[in-house]
């Protein structure tokens, strides 16, 4: 069993169920040692593997590690058992912003404050190369001080999901918030898509209802495609000038996040909160003391746990090393080629971002063989993934961790 008597991994007390979806359940939890309240997202590994979602889970880990913003829910650590994956998250106990609006429209100043915090978070995410793709009131939580926290990056898209045209092509999002370009089955710009969803959120906060709503889904999609909506008479006049710029059905002329932040209505009463380095709430490790961590370092820092099996086709035959580099992709490939040859390894380029390294001498377990892949995961970050396909494990780790990894994770 993964947990007994409400205790998970001998580290967290499990409390009440907070919510659930197709692949995951979220529970309230408490760190037994520190008493810190957390939310624990439990994902059924067999279900995600059955539908081929393991890459999405890997992406979620990478995305959430990249994001450190006061208005975004934090990821504390990742754990796993043979059957489950556990995300230990910041516990936000104020409920969903949806619950507030369900009682009626918000006052203009309150709506603007939440909208300012949302745009601040989205601007930060976009600067990290991360797009949410499923922004809606149900994914906007409130902490005990009434501050907004963006949650659920499970559908977020990184740049590696773009095609050669530079556009995203996954049909994510919730119907009432979906962008016209998705309805038209065209590729879309992730940043502009998030702006549209933020426009829907702003409309709901000030109007008390959705701009596009119809019991007939096809009719609703028609309204969205043409951006047909009506303001209630109580809708603030200044905000009426901003909303249509966000709900512009043409993504090329749709307003940018930067321009939203320059808008006079948006800037009213804006309190600038400079981003300060935050210390990770103690749930087992300290991010600041640990130095630069990548998404998979989180895994290795989970005491007594090894998540490598989550990402392997054959645990017995493969050993892997993963890390994130801020060097450009082609420079990473060239550097690996250079290091490989200096170590008397045969280097064969099998693709633009895929290399095979082979040793020149046969060891106890045969000749060393390594497959090395490079994936772009943000606008300035690349995931380097090396798989040992043959040879000695010690030699593999020595080459990766003493030669290749230090050269690619050094400051530019």
> Which active-site residues does the annotation give?
134
Q: Going by C-beta distance under 8 Å and a sequence separation of 6 or more, which residues neighbour residue 287? A: 279, 280, 293
Give 151's DSSP letter.
Answer: -
User: String of b and e for 35-60 (b: at least 16 CB within 10 Å)?
Assistant: ebebbbbbbebeebeeeebeebbbbb
Q: Tokens 């773009």 map to which residue? A: 162
Q: What value, to the nearest 5°, has the Cα angle with vertex 320 and ends 358 and 340?
A: 30
Dist. CA 399–CA 60, nearest whole Å: 29
CA 128 vs. chain centroid, Å, equals 10
Let me know: does 116 contact 109? Beta carbons within 8 Å.
no
Q: Tokens 């380095």 map to which residue? A: 277
Q: Tokens 């989205």 map to which residue? A: 122
Strand partners, 325: 382
Range list of β-strands (E), 265-312: none
Let me know: does 23 contact 47? Beta carbons within 8 Å.
yes
């Amino acid at each position: 069993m993964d947990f007994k008597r409400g205790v998970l991994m001998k580290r967290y007390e499990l409390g009440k169920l907070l919510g659930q979806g197709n692949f995951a359940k979220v529970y309230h939890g408490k760190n037994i040692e520190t008493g810190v309240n957390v939310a624990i997202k439990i994902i059924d590994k067999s279900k995600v593997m059955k539908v081929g979602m393991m890459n999405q889970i890997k992406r979620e880990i990478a995305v959430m590690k990249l994001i450190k913003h006061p208005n975004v829910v934090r990821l504390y650590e990742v754990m796993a058992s043979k059957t489950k994956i556990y995300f230990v998250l910041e516990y936000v106990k104020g409920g969903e912003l949806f619950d507030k609006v369900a009682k009626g429209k918000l006052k203009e100043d309150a709506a603007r404050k939440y909208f300012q915090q949302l745009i601040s978070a989205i601007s930060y995410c976009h600067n990290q190369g991360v797009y949410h793709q499923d922004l809606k009131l149900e994914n906007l939580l409130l902490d005990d001080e009434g501050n907004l926290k963006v949650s659920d990056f499970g559908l977020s898209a990184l740049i590696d999901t773009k095609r050669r045209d530079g556009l995203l092509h996954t049909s994510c999002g919730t119907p009432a918030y979906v962008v016209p370009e998705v309805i038209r089955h065209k590729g879309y710009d992730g940043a502009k898509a998030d702006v549209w969803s933020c426009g829907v959120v702003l409309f709901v906060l000030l109007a008390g209802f959705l701009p596009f709503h119809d019991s007939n889904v096809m009719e609703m999609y028609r309204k969205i495609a043409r951006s047909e909506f009506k303001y209630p008479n109580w809708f603030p006049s200044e905000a009426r000038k901003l909303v249509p710029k966000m709900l512009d059905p043409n993504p090329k002329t749709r307003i940018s996040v930067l321009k939203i932040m320059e808008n006079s209505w948006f800037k009213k009463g804006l309190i600038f909160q400079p981003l300060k380095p935050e210390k990770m709430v103690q749930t087992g490790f300290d991010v600041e003391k640990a130095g630069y961590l990548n998404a998979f370092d989180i895994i290795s820092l989970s005491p007594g746990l090894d998540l490598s099996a989550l990402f392997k086709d054959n645990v017995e035959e493969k050993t892997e090393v993963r890390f994130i580099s801020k060097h450009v992709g082609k420079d990473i490939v060239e550097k690996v080629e250079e290091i490989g040859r200096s170590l008397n390894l045969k280097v064969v380029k099998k693709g633009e971002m895929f290399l095979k390294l082979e040793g020149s001498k046969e060891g106890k377990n045969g000749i060393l063989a390594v497959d090395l892949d490079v994936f772009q995961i943000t606008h300035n970050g690349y995931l380097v993934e090396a798989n040992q396909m043959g040879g000695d494990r010690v030699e593999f780790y020595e080459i990766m961790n003493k030669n290749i990894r230090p050269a690619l994770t050094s400051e530019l």
